A and B are shown apart, each in its own frame.
Chain A
Amino acid sequence: MSKQNRHSLLATAPSHILWTVEHNGIRIFNRQSDRHYVLEYPAAAVWDLLIRKRSIAQLIPILRAIQQVSAGEAVALVQQCLKDWHQQGLIEIEEPDGESVDHHPVQ
């Protein structure tokens, strides 16, 4: 299966990524690197919705409503989050068969 086939890709949180809800956002702790990240709103909302197993299709209208933005802007927000988190090692992009496609930066 081609890695360029966008419909075949999954964003996943690896098991060494832990998180908790804080007063000002979501604290994410990478147990492998001992590094902390604090996701502030609205990135925290995106993380929270993904954790709640919302699909991207379900996520966009919610973000549009809470952020008062267009569909295109909501998509861009999600893209930016995925890109940042992938680069920071907070999520992995993988094919459904489990093959990781790490080291391919998200555009």
Chain B
Amino acid sequence: MANLSITTLCNKTCPYCFAEDSRQPYSKKGAFMSEAVFDAALEYLARSGIDQVRLLGGEPTLHPQFNRMVDKALERGFQLMIFSNGLMPPKVQERLRRIDPGEVVILLNTIHPLEADPRRMRRQQRTMEILGPRVMPGVNIYSRRQELDYLLPYVEQYQLIREIRLGIAHPVLSESNVFLHPKFYKEIGLKILDLLHKARALDIELGFDCGFVPCMFPEAAAEELGEMLQRTGSCCHPILDLLPDGNFISCYPLNNLLKLPLQADTHAQQLMETFEEKLAPYRRFGIYDHCAGCPLLQQSYCNGGCTAFKMNRLRHRSFAVPIDGMAPLLVE
């Protein structure tokens, strides 16, 4: 897996945006991935045996060469996944509409009713109407107040892909974004379970992004959740996001941890190993203060949730305590 972040520009200002740290250093001019970097990225994907091009941003459809990038990817036989907010230019809608639904998935990050943005919601719904079976609806959960049922009618009304993608808003290392604190995970777990019941009754599946943990769901639901539960616990791993300037990061929230350049011989497996090595010290504890003693962590059934949150749990507070009165502390 590897995501190509082709632009840092966006036409929304989501309070939870976890691309925030990675967007900061770019001027408007430097906000777009060049064609040369994009071509090199396609080479890298092919070399790594990856058959899917995943375009994200910012809002990737704002890249002036977006349609051309889509053409190039399809000509080389890649599947396409596009992470979009659906507020895309008409010429992009038209290009995507001409792609066979089997070749493209547009993961549409829906505007939650809590955002109270009816104008943009209507634009999103228009995109769903036009692109229908190419669209998988999703939502990022950043508040305990978010209800999730509003997604189900979209699937029916616009004949979307029958899967809903759920994500949790995680903190970036600078903690400059709004995120869902793990103390609310159990509350959200109940809402997800409720959504699951309603979705399954309509033959709709749920999919989880990274950072969910098994203990956010009631133990009694373990059988019902089945394999989904195990996938939730094990899915904090390097995603490999390629930034517009040609540098890889592990994932958006960990933008400040380590950057590795895309080179002529870069291979996804090698990148993954390097990032995993960097993350390994953070596998021994979790997002909660009781994670380290949890059998699920010890048995690697769960890796303790979002690494960015774990890293933010670690603090430095200096102290300088005079050690007067201690028995001889130094020896010659």
Contacts and interface: CB of A to CB of B under 8 A. Distances in A.
A35 to B, nearest CB: 8
Given A27-B285, A101-B330, A107-B331, A15 B322 contact: no
A107 B332 CA distance: 11
Contact of A20 (B290, B313, B318, B328): B313
Contact of A50 (B313, B321, B328, B330): B321
Contact of B330 (A4, A16, A36, A56): A4
A75 B326 contact: yes
A101 to B, nearest CB: 7
Given A24-B293, A29-B281, A34-B281, A9 B328 contact: no
Given A9-B322, A10-B321, A19 B314 contact: yes
Interface residues of B, number: 28
A78 B316 CA distance: 21
A75 to B, nearest CB: 7
Contacts of B289: 20-23
Contact of B292 (A24, A78, A79, A104): A24
A82 B323 contact: yes
Contacts of B332: 4
Contact of A56 (B290, B292, B320, B322): B322
Interface residues of A, number: 42
Contacts of A54: 321
A38 interface: yes
B314 A29 contact: yes
A5 B258 CA distance: 43
A6 B328 contact: yes
A53 B322 CA distance: 10
A13 B326 contact: no
Contact of B319 (A12, A18, A23, A27): A12
Contacts of A24: 292-293
User: What DSSP secondary structure best describes chain A's contact surface?
Assistant: mixed
A20 B304 CA distance: 15
Given A12-B318, A13-B318, A107-B331, A22 B326 contact: no
A93 B323 contact: yes
Contact of B326 (A16, A82, A104): A82
Interface string A29-65: 1000011101000000000001101111100000000
B329 interface: yes
B317 A13 contact: yes
B315 A9 contact: no
Contact of B285 (A16, A22, A107): A22
Question: Which one of B281, B285, B314, B329 has the greatest number of beta carbons of chain A within 10 Å?
Answer: B329
B329 A56 contact: no
Contacts of B313: 20
Contact of A27 (B280, B292, B328): B292
B144 interface: no
A21 B323 CA distance: 24
Interface of A: 3-4, 6-7, 9-13, 15-24, 27, 29, 34-36, 38, 50-51, 53-57, 75, 78-79, 82, 93, 101, 104-107
17 contacts: A3-B330, A6-B329, A9-B324, A11-B319, A11-B320, A18-B314, A19-B317, A23-B290, A23-B292, A27-B292, A34-B281, A36-B285, A51-B317, A56-B325, A56-B326, A57-B324, A107-B329
Given A3-B330, A11-B320, A105-B331, 18 more contacts: A4-B330, A6-B325, A7-B324, A9-B330, A11-B323, A12-B318, A13-B318, A15-B316, A17-B316, A18-B315, A19-B315, A20-B314, A54-B321, A55-B322, A82-B323, A82-B329, A101-B330, A107-B327
Interface of B: 280-281, 284-285, 289-290, 292-293, 313-332
